[in-house]
Amino acid sequence: MTSPSVTGTSATGSSTTGSSTTGSSTTGSSTTGSSTTGPSTTGPSTTGEVPRGDLENRLGLTVAEAGPRRVVGSLPVAGNTQPFGVLHGGASCVLAETLASVGACLHFAADGGTAVGTEINATHHRPATAGLVRGVATAVHLGRGHATYEVVITDERGKRVCTARMTCVRVPA
């Protein structure tokens, strides 16, 4: 599991800004703050700090809003295509897993835990060939030991590109 820091807008819609230093912090159920610039070997702190991994940096993945119940992010199609010029299905899965993992990490951070992914599946509905795709991870189940999210990925026209489901388990931080 790799998890990015949170940048962009908070759940309340206000803009966030920050430096590129140590991570992000939470206020209530939304996460706002600064971004990290490299990988981290630690999970989120109880304050909601979520490290950013190398894969998210390489793919251009950004997270705009994050909380235990809903996480929103995007990924550019350019640079993440398969040989036929469409968004690679693996890139969709990375977006889905990242968003669900961020939500699960924030959920389990409340009691000092973190999350690791145990299962992901994805159905690819239509190709995306340009622009950004946007993913919205919505909690389906938030338990003491498991968290499951449905992730809907759409293109810039709002057309569904992929639907994924991700389950994470709680592990000690």
Catalytic annotation, residues: 97
- Residue 103, Cα to own-chain centre: how many angstroms? 7
Q: What is each CA distance from 159 to 4, 40, 123, 130, 133, in whole angstroms? A: 25, 34, 14, 13, 10
Rounded Cα gap, residues 98 and 104, in angstroms: 10
